[in-house]
Structure 1
Amino acid sequence: MVVAELAANSLRHTPSGRQGGEIKISVSCRTGWARVAVSDSGRGSWSRPGRPDDLQNYGRGLLIVEEYADKVGHDVHDGGQTMWAEFGWCADA
């Protein structure tokens, strides 16, 4: 769900969603930890989402991402940006 939301936002809100555009999805794992990241050709502007009006049909995706993930972040780099989410769990489980 988290990767789907981050990818959908990249395709909807950045030049990556235009014809010929690309996004990159990566997953990093180690014992008790994983990070999913979606990179796109966006300009790097991002702000933490506010709470949408209860009657709006959109605007809850990043709030859901923040609820599922233990940590969420945004990095700007040459050629675009990356949104990522980290998850941790007990390695003994």
Structure 2
Amino acid sequence: MEWNQTYPGRASMVPAARAFVRAMVGESPRREDAELITAELVANSLRHTPSGDGGEVTVIVKVAPGRARIAVHDSGDGRQWRPVPRIPGDEDDHGRGLLVVYALADKVGHDADAGGQTMWVELT
């Protein structure tokens, strides 16, 4: 099954996106991982793309027996996206969110086209 929900590009929407994913993955043993990953991906979209400046983000959840795929689509152009380049130092204020995503997800991917970019994860 697949569901999607679009949110205004405001930080106050992160808890709503998290609650949406929690409801869609149900009683999965990976439920907390799914919520945390969603929060990180939505927050990154809002911080680093035009979605956070009056735009919107869409969260897509696909659930099948034994697996879930969570994707966050934003209005970024994808050209500036880079995989985690380095481990942030103690003095860095940001940069740990994607490390958390990579640590928790079984698979991580990024797609970009003229309509924006999508960061997605798979959990088994």
Does TM-score exceed 0.5, indicating one fold?
yes
Superposition pairs for residues 17-32 of structure 1, below 5 Å? 17-19=52-54, 21-32=55-66
AA at the equivalent of 1:60: R
Distance (whole Å) between structure 1 residues aligned to residue 83 and residue 111 of structure 2: 13
Alignment partner, residue 73 of structure 2 = 39
Unaligned runs of 5+ residues in structure 1 are: 89-93
The one-letter code of the counterpart of 1:56 is D
Matched, 1:4 2:36: no
Letter in 2 for 1:32: G
Alignment gaps of 5+ in structure 2 = 1-35
Asked whether the 8 Å contact 2:77–2:114 carries over to 1, the reply is: no
1:77 Cα deviation from its structure 2 partner: 2.1
| Alignment of 1:51 onto 2:74 | no
Residue 51 of structure 2 is aligned to residue 16 of structure 1: yes
Moved segments of 4+, more than 6 Å:
none
**What is the number of residues matched between the two proteins?**
87
Deviation at 1:78, TM superposition (A): 2.5
**Higher relative contact order (CA closer than 8 Å, sequence separation 6+):** 1
Fraction of identical pairs, as percent: 55
